[in-house]
């Protein structure tokens, strides 16, 4: 596996390879990330993974400084998956000191995580756009645990006519249903036992939609989560195509949830 730290190295490598798949990550890799690599290998001649903890998608009082950095272990895991290359840029490589450009995707960024994490999706869209321009992949893969993030990136790619195919990969879960996340490591032993209730509540809500109003389903789910110790950020049913409010004629839906358990913010969807 080749390791690159500069844009010029990536560009030179890219010219030598006809079809490239790209998996952008913030490191601290888990089985969900490795599943993205496996899916990427099915779709291209070469696979490259980036590991970059992006400062611009963290808000005030969020965990940028404490976010786990495990590059040595991450690279070992990637090598075991026969990944072809890894990109390990510094903040200075991605963001010049006089940078003045931000990519902002309106509407689809405004609700859910966008409402409670001001500027988060501007940071996501900007760094992903930069990485796409640097790596110039044919296909890029993202986990669907953060469905809103995937929708934001889809919209950006469409609106800016970026020549990259996006693939959303289903959420990888622990045996008890908890969606795999780098932040799961923040959970205490007791919180870890409670955490799978988020997915169970999503499942219950999906069943209840057959017989209850959306409003009642949402209220019941929030109460269910609060009763076991979650502080709920949001629990909403939306249209899957654009994350807007559901109308009577919509039947392709997604349930989105975010809630804190202790100091750990968990997200999931169904």
Give the pLDDT confidence of 3-37 residue by residue, as tens digits.
999 999 999 999 999 999 999 999 999 999 999 99
Number of domains in the chain: 2
Instruction: Judge whether 33 counts as a catalytic residue.
Output: yes
The pLDDT score that the predictor gives to residue 169 is 98
The pLDDT score that the predictor gives to residue 103 is 98
Same domain, 104 and 228: no
The pLDDT score that the predictor gives to residue 247 is 82
The pLDDT score that the predictor gives to residue 81 is 98
Residue 177 lies in a domain: no
**Domain of residue 200, CATH code:** 3.30.1300.10
Give residue 252's domain range: 182-269
Same domain, 133 and 261: no
The pLDDT score that the predictor gives to residue 248 is 78
DSSP code per residue over the chain: -EEE-SHHHHHHHHHT-SSEEEEEE-S---HHHHHHHHHHHTT-SEEEEEE---GGG--TTSSTTTS---HHHHHHHHHHTT--EEE---HHHHS-TT-------TTTTTSTHHHHSTTHHHHHHHHHHHHHHHH--SEEEEETTSHHHHHHHHHHHHHTT---EEEEEPPPB-TTSPBP-GGGGGS-HHHHHHTTHHHHHHHHHHHHTTTS-HHHHHHHHHHHHHHTT-EEEEEEEEETTT-PPP-TT---EEEEEEEEETTEEEEEE-
The pLDDT score that the predictor gives to residue 214 is 94
Same domain, 66 and 88: yes
Q: Where is the domain boundary, 119, 143, 169?
A: 169
The pLDDT score that the predictor gives to residue 61 is 83
Catalytic residue (choose from 30, 33, 120, 161): 33
Same domain, 58 and 135: yes
Residue 257 lies in a domain: yes
**Domain of residue 152, CATH code:** 3.40.50.620
The pLDDT score that the predictor gives to residue 158 is 98
Residues of the chain with pLDDT under 70: none
């Amino acid at each position: 596996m080749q390791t690159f730290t500069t844009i010029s190295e990536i560009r030179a490598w890219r010219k030598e390879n006809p079809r490239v798949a790209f998996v952008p990550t913030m490191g601290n890799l888990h089985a969900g990330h490795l599943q993205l690599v496996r899916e990427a290998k099915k779709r291209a001649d070469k696979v490259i993974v980036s590991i970059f903890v992006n400062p611009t998608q963290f808000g005030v009082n969020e965990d940028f400084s404490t976010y786990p950095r495990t590059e040595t272990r991450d690279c070992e895991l990637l090598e075991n998956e026969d990944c072809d290359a890894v990109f390990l840029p510094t903040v200075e490589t991605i963001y010049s000191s006089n940078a003045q450009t931000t990519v902002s995707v309106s509407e689809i960024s405004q609700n859910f995580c966008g409402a409670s994490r001001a500027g988060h999706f501007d940071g996501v869209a900007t760094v992903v756009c930069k990485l796409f321009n640097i790596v110039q992949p044919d296909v890029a893969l993202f986990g669907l645990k953060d469905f809103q993030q995937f929708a934001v990136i889809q919209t950006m790619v469409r609106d800016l006519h970026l020549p990259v195919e996006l693939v959303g990969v289903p959420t990888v879960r622990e045996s008890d249903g908890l969606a795999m996340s780098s932040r799961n490591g923040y959970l205490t032993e007791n919180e870890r036992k409670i955490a799978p209730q988020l997915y169970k509540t999503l499942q219950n809500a999906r069943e209840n939609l057959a017989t209850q109003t959306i409003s009642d389903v949402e209220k019941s789910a929030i109460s269910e989560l609060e009763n076991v110790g979650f502080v709920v950020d949001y629990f909403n049913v939306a249209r899957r195509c654009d994350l807007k409010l559901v109308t009577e004629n919509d039947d392709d839906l997604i349930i989105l949830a975010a809630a804190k358990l202790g100091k750990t913010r968990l997200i999931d969807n169904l």
